Structure 1
Amino acid sequence: MLQPKFNYLCSYRAAFTEPQQQIGKAHFGRRMIAALTGGEVEGERLRGRVMPSGGDWATIDDRDTLRLDARITFETHDGALIYVSYRGVLRPLSVAHKHARNGGPQNDEEHAEIYFRTTPIFETGDERYAWLNDIVAVGLGASVGGAVRYNVFELL
């Protein structure tokens, strides 16, 4: 059986406001909307900043699971704009909140208590980064106070 292989792509930190809109419980769970305020992107092939636009249209179900629906924009160090959208799962949310109040998971044991995975999709018209349009990626996340931090890997 063919096993997946991954290459490290980048890490990024994105800061969010507290949820500004609490829609309430509907058919997909409790909907909350938080705005993005900025952040940084670091990596060998991709670096720059997370622009202060976009946000997360998340839902929280009765099993303490948050389902992300985020849209953000990277501006690279050399001026390219890259739109990133991702869905993901964070569970259990209550444990992630506990760790976030302490600055995020502090060790492997605390990371293991939380399942936080995303599937970023990249879009850009900049030829220097067009290769991003054609990759599949996964992100491993952590909540760190008023922000999230991801390590993103390209699936080979």
Structure 2
Amino acid sequence: MGDDPNSHGSPAPKPELERVLELTVEVEEPIEIGETGDGHRRIIPISGGTVTGRCSGRVLSAGADYQLFRAEGPTELVAKYAFETDDGSRVYVENRGIRRAPSEASERLRDGDPVDPDAVYFRSVPSFETADPELDWLTRHVFVAAGTRQPAGVRLAVYRVG
């Protein structure tokens, strides 16, 4: 007691990132809820897409991205959906993150207009659930993703934190 916890032992290891998946998620027109007091709420249905990397398959037409757009702060993103591998296994994805850009670019993103990806900070933390033992590695690690808004959806590069 009273000892400095930083004075003993080795420092914590520096995490390394391994790129493991690339997801292209296609979306439909947003369902506008409107200004709720916390921001502009909308729900964006997920209609499909692809998965490549350590496993490959297709994003199922199920789920949505629940967004809370704030003009003066980052947009909060919570996407819940699933994908099916080429082998027929299914994976549930819950992806929480933020997207931040200068006001003009943020409004263009909200309206579905193209924006230079370098002008946007879009990061998230996906988690995965599956019944397939071969894909169990998805449930045993922390993942982070970098996203890019596309004209009809988003592209996510998913990294395993080692």
TM-score interval (norm. to shorter): 0.7 to 0.9
Q: Which residue of 2 aligns with 1:16?
A: 27
Quick one: which of 54, 72, 80 aligns to 2:63?
A: 54
How far has the Cα of 1:127 moved from its partner? 1.1
Q: Quick check: 29-38 or 62-71, which moved more?
A: 62-71
Q: 1:142 corresponds to which residue? A: 148
Instruction: Let me know the Cα RMSD of the aligned residues.
Output: 1.8
Q: Distance in 1 between matches of 2:122 and 2:148?
A: 7
Say which SS state the counterpart of residue 42 (structure 1) adopts.
strand
Kindly provide the amino acid, as one letter, of the partner of residue 40 in structure 1.
T
Per the alignment, residue 5 of structure 1 pairs with: 16
Q: Deviations over 1:8-59 (max 9, x none)?
A: 1110100111212x2222243111001001000110x121111111011110
The Cα of 1:3 is off from its aligned counterpart by: 2.1
CA contact (8 A) 1:54 1:71 kept: yes
Question: Which 4+ stretches in 1 moved above 6 angstroms?
Answer: none
**Which residue number corresponds to residue 30 of structure 1?**
40
Shift of 1:62: 2.9
Work out the CA distance in 1 between the residues paired with 2:104 and 2:142: 29
What is the aligned-residue identity percentage?
31
Aligned residues: 147
Residue segments in structure 2 that go unaligned for 5+ positions in a row: 1-10
Which AA in structure 1 matches 2:64?
G
- C-alpha separation between the residues in 1 aligned to 2:140 and 2:122? 24
- Structural mapping, 1:89-100, within 5 Å: 89-92=98-101, 94-95=104-105, 97=108
| Matched residue type, 1:71 | K
Partners in 1 of 2:73 and 2:55 — Cα distance?
33
8 A contact 1:13–1:147 mirrored in 2: yes
Matched, 1:83 2:89: no
1:123 maps to which of 124, 129, 148: 129
Q: Distance in 1 between matches of 2:75 and 2:123?
A: 11
> Matches of 1:42 and 1:91 in 2, distance apart?
26
1:92-124 CA-to-partner distances (Å, cap 9, x unmatched) read 2742636x644x64xxxx42x210001000000
Structure exhibiting the larger radius of gyration computed from Cα positions: 2
Alignment-derived partner of residue 152 in structure 1:
158
Q: Is the 8 A contact 1:32 1:59 kept in 2?
A: yes
